[in-house]
Structure 1
């Protein structure tokens, strides 16, 4: 009997590939929520090119030390030993570097014409807040699953009305989160600068990345019990339907913010309006996902 208990414990402690993907996605989610507003800061792009290799290395070491310190108490994985903290910090830095490179490329801050030293400097500098965001992910957003489960048990009937209520609730939360993120970035000239650099293919890439990241933050990172979300019936309550709806809300919020802060007129080029909206739609989508995680 003791042997069977040990076998069950070993099975429960086994870290599967699904768990690994979930943990990494949690890190990406935290990095996006904490660091993306700084990615839309031109001063960060410019100051990065003034640093030499030694200064960049020192900044990365500082970021690594902060991540280790935080991971000793909590991180995007379970466990708080020194070895685990160092491992998590290394992975947080890696997440920060990869996500920074992807975002810099999507926003046009780096391209094939950018000098290699400038590109690496920008990626490294932007990676630091992203890495710290990856480290704080678990404590800030890991919760709410039990509340959702208990809520579902308390309201077994009126499924159609409940689904409609959930849909309206998700729309409201997504709009609020999108507005918080979009309003902090919309007034800046970076939005217009990014929009000017975007090609039609670039627009599609940003839209696809926004959808994928939003889906991953809610249904892959599994901070708040995505299994309960997936049990709900209805097109808009499915993972894909909910993600598309939330992104549509983010784009609507972005369009309003663009018209308000950038004075877009009716005579403006449709492509310009779409480019401004989609470029602001990325942080808005992240804000919408963050709102749905927190509430």
Structure 2
């Protein structure tokens, strides 16, 4: 009897913990995605984005959320299957939360047709899902998740930096202002912006006294700078170019123009990569 009572109590405790994790995930999804939900450019992207690009974006987003669920999900992930379940759950929460808020704001209605409605919600589901995954660390704290991040190897650290870059770059990529800024900048300003992005990324991750900051590599400053900072910035530029392609910003632009837009978008992306350990 005592063992059965203890098992029931443990089961109730686990169920309660999971319910609290889901509540935090919904809150995180709304908090992280709310600026994008209120952005008109994000509404229209759901209508005109090509289905193939949208499908690739959603698959990559699901993979990103699964990886994040392994390190700092809204419930502890002890295996890859747990992380996969957490990633799918976060994606579902992102879809449901985005659809609910868009409907409450009067943006989502039957006049748009199923194609536009699905595209609009799906685009919003990726940042909302990232918010759902990050909610456990931001809203509830996670010593286990933090310890797992601290033990993560070099590829995992780059993955976390890429996740931070995706999230912050995604907040400005749909806007027209990003294109306008690119047109107003000349080559020298672009080069200065690249240098500023690299320096800020290095300072945020290794110099400023933030919690969870990385320790310098054994080889000293240059080894750390090359293996983490430059590698992280390179990933940020690749992510920026991919996001521009997904949103159709690179379709009618020349290669130099796309490169300049990637540098402009890479500035907030670099900040996101540097703050990744604090966010996700």
Please state which band the TM-score falls in when normalised by the shorter chain.
0.3 to 0.5
- Tell me the TM-score normalised to structure 2 length: 0.46
TM-score relative to the length of structure 1: 0.44
